[in-house]
Structure 1
Amino acid sequence: MHPAISVIFFTVMSGAGFGFMAMIGLGWPMPQGPLSAFLICFLAGGLAVIGLLSSTFHLGHPERAWRAFSQWRSSWLSREGVLAVVTLMLFGIYALVWMTTGERIGALGFVITILSLVTIYATSMIYAQLKTVPSWHSNLTPVCYVAFGIASGLVLAATFGAKHGMMGNMAALFAGLSLMIAWGAKALWWSHADGVGFSQTGSDTGTATGLGHLGKVKLFEKPHSGENYLTKEMMHQVGRKHSKKLRRISVILGLLIPFLMAALSYQFGGHGLFMFIGFISMIAGLFAERWLFFAEAKHAVSLYY
């Protein structure tokens, strides 16, 4: 699949934003004061909104994006949009109360946490539902998306709440554990993606052309002399050598460096600067991971071409 920058930015940034909202909703200890509450909530909501807005750049007609909300009964894309709007509205109320009264409403925060995680899940299902892409069509896809959302949210929450966190510098410990769990799930996803193919889904050149009932089908040449929309969007070649290199880069940036920063934060009493560096590195690693998520995916239409 063609790795569109707008979609990569959307999935990474919105996941981090809603993951951070989930931690705030859980009541993660944060600096007190109206200005701190505003800046923290603005960052969480801003990440989610920027991510969602970036996804519209991949649409042929961004001005028609609002129409997607009407298809929530059948479309995960529409459900994700509806859930995101509802979550952001409730989070706005939560933030307003927090800024004006200093109180963080526990019940409302819990609802926001659940909705934030469900929103990330809905984003993942946009891809996990596609039987035409065997590597995506797995229960591990939503597990990875949600795990990365929680991990990025925890790392960012530890940036602000490390010194005020649960049992002091334990915030960094929770962040480190979440990183290990998220990347452990991703390792399982990669193992699954490397082993699954079209044969497991029952698809081959015969089913792609509709001529399978005549016998074994072979393509002598491509059906088109030049590129078209399908070859540009649904087919992307990435060398195995480059793929392995990018996987290593994503693990170094997304796991090893943030985990090291979490360990340093834990060692030095929950210093937020280490966690901030870890968060920036993690986002860079997730960009590499998400680029591979799309670039390595093989759509069934490639059987025809």
Structure 2
Amino acid sequence: MRPAPSLLLFTVLSGAGFGTLALAALGGAAPTVWAAGHALVLAGLVASTFHLAHPLRARFAFSRLRTSWLSREAWGAVAALALLAPVALADLAGGPRPASWGIPGALACLGTVIATAMIYGQLRAVPRWHHWTTPALFLGLATAGGAVIAAPGPWAAALCLALSAGLAASFAAGDRRMARCALTTDRATGLGRFGRVRSIEQPSTGPTWLTREIVEGRPQLRALRGLAVLLVGVAPAAVLTLAPGAAPLAVALHLAGAFVARWLFFSEARHLAGLYHGVPLAPQAPSRPATAAAG
């Protein structure tokens, strides 16, 4: 799929922001931490409107709470910011914290991240996304990013290393799932036993939104996987361990890795609609020379 810049900005920035706010809610946080968390969340939410044809209609996202993960995400964001407002104000004023607001606010932050992930994880038509690792990785990126921003230290470094390991494992597991899936035009038509199936006509006579945004795959640059694993966790952990005073560098490295990882999340996805355009979801096994045409 084609990764929209607005989606990259939204998912990465808001995820890191909600992770920062969740950790700030669980313990006393400096004003700069609260400011960073709110700035990231607001920047992400603003970016989320850029890919809407009619941004003013974003308000309708709140009307489908029972059936839409997008609506749950919208309500979760509002609830998280509302619940954390008294906690943030207490920290900024140097007064006592309201004891009953921090934990619900932190849970609302993490719930919002899960809702964002499930917008993609619920899609059966995108097999690489339709797996429990999608919300797990979104949560991992949020908590590790929040730790690097809110509380840089040994345990933040440990979270970063765990995130890198999980990301690397998810790449390998996703490839294995797609290979086992073996969804091809041969299998979709049931004619694979006669030979390789090809379309003699395309579903449309010219480029469409579907072919531009859904069917056309981005180049699979496997080297970017290693770069994502390195930047998102290994490099920040090394900085936090070897140069504790360089926390801003660790934050920059982590966010750069998060953007690369999220770009891969979108660009490596393959939609089932691609089968109608002759784009297999997984490499086809060798078949007999005979060809069965499907038009």
Same fold (TM over 0.5): yes
Query: Match for 1:249 among 227, 231, 246?
Result: 227
- Matching residue of 1:290: 262
- Give the 3 Å change call, closer, same or farther, for CA 89–176 of structure 1 in structure 2: same
Q: Which residue of 2 aligns with 1:71?
A: 64
- Using the size of structure 2 for normalisation, the TM-score is 0.86
- Evaluate the alpha carbon distance shift between residue 220 and residue 85 of structure 1 in structure 2; reply closer, same or farther with a 3 A threshold: same
SS at 1:57's partner residue?
Answer: coil
Q: CA deviation at 1:132?
A: 0.5
Paired letter, 2:218: V
Q: Is 1:108 aligned to 2:80, yes or no?
A: no
User: Which residue pairs with 1:299 in the alignment?
Assistant: 271
Aligned-pair RMSD on alpha carbons? Answer: 2.2
Q: Tell me whether 1:264 sits opposite 2:242 in the alignment.
A: yes
Contact 1:235 1:298 in 2 (8 A): yes
**Superposition pairs of residues 82-231 of structure 1, within 5 angstroms:** 82-159=75-152, 172-197=153-178, 200=181, 204-205=184-185, 218-231=198-211
Tell me the distance in 2 between the aligned counterparts of 1:100 and 1:262.
Answer: 30
Residue correspondences, number:
275
**Structure 2 counterpart of 1:179, which letter?**
C
Equivalence for 2:24: 24
Deviations 1:97-137 (A, max 9, x none): 32234323343111111111111111111111111111101
Residue identity opposite 1:190 in structure 2: F
Alpha-carbon shift at residue 261 of structure 1 (Å): 0.9
Give the CA deviation at 1:227.
Answer: 1.1
Distance 2:104 2:76 in 1: 12
Would you say the 8 A contact 1:134–1:198 is kept in 2?
Answer: no
Contact kept? 1:87, 1:116, Cα under 8 Å: yes
Aligned counterparts of 1:260 and 1:288: Cα–Cα separation in 2: 19
Answering whether residue 74 of structure 2 is matched by residue 61 of structure 1, we say no
- How far did residue 42 of structure 1 move? 2.2
Is the 1:135–1:297 Cα contact (8 Å) retained in structure 2? yes
Map Cα deviations across residues 79-100 of structure 1 (whole Å, 9 max, x no partner). 0111001101112222123223
Q: For 1:283 and 1:52, locate their aligned partners in 2 and report how far apart those are by CA, in whole Å.
A: 17
Distance apart, 1:185 and its partner CA: 1.7
Deviates more, 1:179-188 or 1:191-200: 191-200
CA offset digits 1:16-47 (Å, max 9, x no partner): 000001111111x544xxxxx3x432221111
Could you tell me how far apart the structure 2 residues matched to 1:236 and 1:88 are?
Answer: 38
Q: Whole-Å Cα distance in 1 between the matches of residues 48 and 80 of structure 2? A: 18
CA distance in 2, matches of 1:93, 1:179: 30
Please name the residue that 2:289 is paired with. none
State the distance in 2 between where 1:304 and 1:198 align. 19
Q: 1:101 to 1:255 in 2, by over 3 A?
A: closer
* Partner Cα separation in structure 1 for residue 10 and residue 187 of structure 2: 33
CA deviation after TM superposition for structure 1 residue 199, in Å = 6.6
**Letter of the 2:111 counterpart:** V
Identity fraction in percent:
36
Contact 1:26 1:106 in 2 (8 A): no
| SS of match in other structure, 1:304 | helix
Q: Is the 8 A contact 2:33 2:149 kept in 1?
A: no
* Cα separation, 2, equivalents of 1:206 and 1:78: 38
Query: Do the aligned residues in 2 keep the contact of 1:151 with 1:179 (CA within 8 Å)?
Result: yes
Q: Distance in 2 between matches of 1:93 and 1:16?
A: 21
TM value normalised by structure 1: 0.83
Shift of 1:204: 4.4
Unaligned runs of 5+ in 1: 32-36, 160-171
